[in-house]
Amino acid sequence: MAGDERVSTVNKADDKAGRTALMFASYYGNVDSVEFLAASDAIAQIVDKKGRTCLHYAAMNDSA
């Protein structure tokens, strides 16, 4: 997989709410997944359809 493909795939919103894999990993407090996604160029500043970032999701579930 080319570098540009990986970046676009890792940041792809995969549900109707516009949440990314990084948002889900942050919400569930999965540190290994967050680190993997960050190393794979996941963008933490992406917002979902409600304007929330992965940091918001981490805080919602006390994972921050």
Q: pLDDT for 11-45, tens place per residue? A: 999 889 999 999 999 999 999 999 999 999 999 99
| Confidence (pTM) | 0.83
Q: Which residues contact 57 (CB under 8 A, 6 or more apart)?
A: 19, 23, 24, 26, 27, 63
| Class for the domain spanning 18-64 | mainly alpha
pLDDT value for 64 = 61
Q: How many residues are there in the chain? A: 64
Q: Cα 42 to chain center, whole Å? A: 6
Q: Which residue has 């407090």 as its token pair?
A: 29
* Residues 46, 37 contacting (CB under 8 angstroms): no
